[in-house]
Structure 1
Amino acid sequence: MAHEPTPGAAAEPAPEHDPQLESARLKERLYAAITMIAVAIGLAGAEHTTAPAAAASVGATSVGLWLATLVADAQAHRVVHGSTGGVRELRRLLFVSSPLLLSAVGPLILIGAAGLGLMDLDTALLTSAGVNVAGLFAWGCSGALRMGGGTVAALVGGAVDAAIGTLVALVKAAGH
């Protein structure tokens, strides 16, 4: 039996239909992609990196970012609203921040393949970075198309997003 909203109460949109929630979630996905590019490039450039060490770095980065985001968002909510927000706010935080954890899946699969001897570790790490750059390109194309641009605008938007994301990742990787 479907849950019916209380008469006179505003229906709460499903998370996948709330533009502000989706925007916040996409922001986290893009930030996570840029971070994973930086981690992968940094690990690929490091001498004597092993698959287990690379997996630990990727996992720790992902979990660390996720936990930092949860703490920062919860603290910001308490300061701005004067309350914890309860279960509803916690569900929102978990939904929005989950891409920070999911960003590690692809790199971990490729690192695992390297650990099994199916590919070189540097190849796995650079492939992971390349996949994330391609993702940034795709999101840039999607954004340009969504704003009414044609094919050329989409390709330019994708190239700009991929280039900016890569530059930011390279700066982050150089700093570590």
Structure 2
Amino acid sequence: MTERAPGGVDVRLVAARLKERLYATITMISVVLGLVGSGHVDVPGAVATVGTASVSLWLAALVADQQAHRVAHGALASGRELREMLFISSPLLLSAVGPLLLIGASALGVMGLETALVTAGWVNVAGLFAWGCVGGLRMGGGRIYAVLAGGIDAAIGTAVAVVKAAAGH
């Protein structure tokens, strides 16, 4: 029997979608860090970079999923399987929403662009922390364990993002 999450969605799909969300969050941290570190970015360039990174990740995931499906099943994914691929990969597009909103706030003069990008990075780090806490609580370790798990997830995610940004990815 398939385990179901709240809302009746297959737990396997929820886990795969969360994995993509965490990967996209780490990648977006590296993108905004790279923009901050470049020193020459303007609002249109930041929008283009964040948008392109998000769409490129999403398309790469879909191509990889379709290729894997073709190899494993001898046919293109369609119907339910294609909908599952789109459901799982959609956080790769959603990862750009927060940074784009903050860049938009910068364009409106609410804050400087560098402040918007740094804020986007910290918001994503907070997201990693929150997901780590949720995981810690779901494992039944209590609040202290949840905060520890959140801190570790945020630290590891940030370290990976810094390395990716430093390497120019």
Report whether the alignment pairs 1:39 with 2:31. yes
1:96 aligned residue (84, 88, 91): 88
Q: Distance in 1 between matches of 2:147 and 2:98?
A: 24
Bigger Rg, structure 1 or 2 = 1
For structure 1, the residue ranges without an aligned partner over 5 or more in a row are: 1-9
Note the C-alpha offset of 1:16: 5.1
Q: Within the alignment, does 1:51 sit opposite 2:43 as a pair?
A: yes
Select the residue among 42, 59, 63 that pairs with 1:67: 59
Q: SS of 1:17's equivalent?
A: coil
Match of 2:140 in 1: 148
Runs (4+) of structure 1 moved beyond 2 Å? 13-17
State the distance in 1 between where 2:109 and 2:44 align.
13
TM-score (norm 1): 0.90
1:107 to 95, 99, 112: 99
CA distance in 2, matches of 1:168, 1:30: 12
Distance 1:16 1:141 in 2: 23
| Whole-angstrom CA distance in 2 between matches of 1:145 and 1:157 | 9
Answer whether contact 1:145 1:151 (CA < 8 A) is retained.
Answer: yes
Aligned length: 166
Q: Distance in 1 between matches of 2:143 and 2:135?
A: 12
Distance in 1 between residues matched to 2:135 and 2:106, nearest whole Å: 34
My pick for the range that moved more, 108-117 or 154-163, is 108-117
Letter in 1 for 2:58: W
Provide the TM-score with structure 2 as the length reference. Answer: 0.94
Name the amino acid aligned to 2:130: A
Deviation (angstroms), 1:17: 2.2
What secondary structure does 2:70 align onto?
helix
3-state SS of 1:45 partner: helix
